């Protein structure tokens, strides 16, 4: 028994000595909560970063979200009912003015045209008989074999037959015109945006079958709050636009023409502003299509003007774009990258203004591709 107590006492003494000397060590990230594990520290060390830059200046412009739309966009519908027997185009096709787009079953209309033409021929035959009868009655009246009243009755029959021919001819022309409604043609040269019908569907008057737009005439449209309308009306020449994410369109530029509509929407209390873009065949308009997101830059006056405002910038290479999301990888307190969504402003050279999402001095991954590679 004494030997056991002695052994136990020796073990306790040994452990106490190791603890005093620091030999009984634990991992540093366990003993100190504010320390970063070696693997995380190594990962953070591999990430090249850039700091969010701040520039004090005059924010003399304010931006509005806008959209690109076609000046001429048409929804093609049928004027007559019938089954669709042929779709001659598909979405994305370029068409010329007058080109056939959709064919509707026109067999019943063709029979109506044939029936009307036959009725005209029958009425024409009756008119010929009435004309000959009128000539004979005139000869008999000259020899005083008939009365004047008999001649007038014959003349009335001839006039009625003549009117019947004209009426049936008008009906035939109507039938022929309606038969032309069974082939839908392009009203102008453009691009088919969407086809909403398929072969075999029943076309009804007013039902949309396809959408067509003219790519050579585009505009940027935005809604302006009524508080800015008074100061904007005499400064339309200074309005600019840009189309983020599209090569050659990321810096604000002047439109061909600016139009501010004179009415204000009663629900949103905004007025629409339209910026006419250069012709679609211009070199710098390649890739611009209706529906794209755009921004309109208005001169900031009155309550919207700001001076000595801190403006934040990041290199364009540090921005991650995934479909509708735009973000950056911001390093947290432990040096780990965290994806954060941001809102972009105007671009100045290689720098892009950060309207929201980051603060001055924060460290951001210089290249988002390096995060996925780690």
Which of 322, 272, 280 lies closest to 296 in space, CA to CA?
A: 272
Q: What is the mean pLDDT of residues 345-365?
A: 83
Per-residue pLDDT tens digits for 184-239: 999 999 999 999 999 999 999 989 999 999 998 999 999 999 988 888 878 888 89
| Residue 45: predicted pLDDT | 58
Which of the four pLDDT bands, split at 50, 70 and 90, describes residue 370? confident
Rounded to the nearest integer, the mean pLDDT of the chain is 81
Per-residue pLDDT tens digits for 6-16: 444 444 444 34
Which of the four pLDDT bands, split at 50, 70 and 90, describes residue 5? very low
Instruction: Please give, one letter per residue, the 3-state secondary structure of the chain.
Output: CHHHHHHHHHHHHHHHHHHHHCCCCCCHHHHCCCCCCHHHHHHHHCCCEEECEEEEEEECEEEEEEEEEECCEEEEEECCCEEEEEECCCCCCEECCCCEEEEECCHHHHHHHHHHHHHHHHHHHHHHHHHHHHHHHHHHHHCCCCCHHHHHHHHHHHHHHHHHHHHHHHHHHHHHHHHHHHEEECCCCEEEEEECCCCCCEECECCEEEEEECCCCEEEEEEEEHHHHHHHCCCHHHCEEECCCCCCCCCCECCCEEEECCCCCCCCCEEEEEEECCCCCCHHHCCCCCCCEEEEEEECCHHHCEEEEEEEEEEHHHCEEECCEEEEEEECCCCCEEEEECEEEEEECCEEEEEECCCCCCEEECCHHHHHHC
| Residue 175: predicted pLDDT | 86
Cα–Cα dist 163/160, whole Å: 5
The domain made up of 74-192 is a member of CATH 1.10.287.470: yes
Claim: this prediction has a pTM higher than 0.75: no
Residues forming CATH 1.10.287.470 domain(s) in the chain: 74-192
Q: What is the mean pLDDT of residues 350-370?
A: 86
The three-point CA angle 91-210-70 to 5° equals 80
Residues forming CATH 2.40.30.170 domain(s) in the chain: 63-71+215-302
Per-residue pLDDT tens digits for 150-194: 889 999 999 999 999 999 999 889 888 888 899 999 999 999 999
Which of the four pLDDT bands, split at 50, 70 and 90, describes residue 24? very low
CATH of 63-71+215-302 among 3.90.79.10, 3.30.930.10, 2.40.30.170, 3.40.140.80: 2.40.30.170
Per-residue pLDDT tens digits for 281-318: 555 667 888 998 888 988 866 544 444 456 788 888 88
Per-residue pLDDT tens digits for 234-276: 888 889 888 877 766 667 788 999 999 999 999 999 999 999 9
Task: Tell whether the model's pLDDT for residue 59 goes beyond 60.
Answer: no
Q: Look up the CATH number of domain 49-59+307-373.
A: 2.40.420.20
Residues forming CATH 2.40.420.20 domain(s) in the chain: 49-59+307-373
């Amino acid at each position: 028994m004494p030997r056991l107590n002695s052994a136990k006492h020796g073990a306790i003494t040994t452990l106490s000595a190791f603890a005093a000397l620091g030999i009984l060590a634990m991992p540093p990230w366990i003993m100190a909560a504010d320390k970063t594990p070696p693997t995380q520290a190594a990962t953070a060390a591999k990430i090249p970063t850039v700091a969010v830059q701040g520039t004090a200046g005059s924010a003399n412009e304010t931006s509005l979200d806008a959209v690109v739309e076609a000046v001429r966009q048409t929804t093609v519908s049928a004027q007559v009912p019938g089954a669709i027997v042929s779709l001659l185009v598909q979405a994305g096709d370029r068409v010329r003015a007058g080109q056939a787009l959709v064919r509707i079953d026109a067999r019943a209309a063709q029979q109506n045209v044939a029936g009307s033409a036959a009725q005209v021929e029958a009425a024409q035959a009756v008119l010929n008989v009435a004309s000959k009868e009128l000539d004979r009655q005139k000869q008999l009246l000259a020899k005083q074999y008939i009365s004047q009243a008999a001649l007038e009755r014959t003349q009335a029959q001839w006039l009625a037959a003549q009117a019947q021919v004209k009426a049936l001819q008008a009906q035939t022309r109507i039938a022929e015109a309606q038969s032309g409604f069974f082939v839908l043609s392009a009203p102008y040269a453009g691009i088919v945006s969407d086809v909403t019908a398929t072969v075999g569907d029943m076309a009804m008057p007013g039902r949309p079958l396809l959408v067509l737009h003219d790519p050579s005439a585009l505009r940027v449209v935005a809604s302006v709050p009524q508080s800015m309308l008074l100061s904007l009306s005499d400064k339309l020449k200074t309005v600019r636009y840009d189309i983020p994410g599209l090569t050659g369109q990321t810096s604000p530029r002047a439109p061909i023409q600016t139009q501010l509509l004179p009415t204000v929407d009663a629900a949103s209390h905004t007025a629409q502003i339209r910026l006419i873009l250069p012709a679609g065949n211009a070199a710098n308009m390649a890739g611009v299509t209706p529906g794209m997101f755009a921004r309109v830059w208005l001169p900031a006056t009155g309550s919207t003007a700001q001076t000595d405002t801190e403006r934040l910038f990041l290199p364009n290479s540090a921005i991650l774009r995934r479909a509708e999301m735009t973000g950056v990888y911001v390093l947290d307190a432990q040096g780990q990258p965290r994806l954060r969504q941001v809102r972009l402003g105007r671009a100045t050279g290689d720098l892009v203004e950060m309207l929201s999402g980051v603060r001055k001095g924060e460290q951001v991954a210089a290249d988002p591709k390096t995060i996925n590679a780690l």
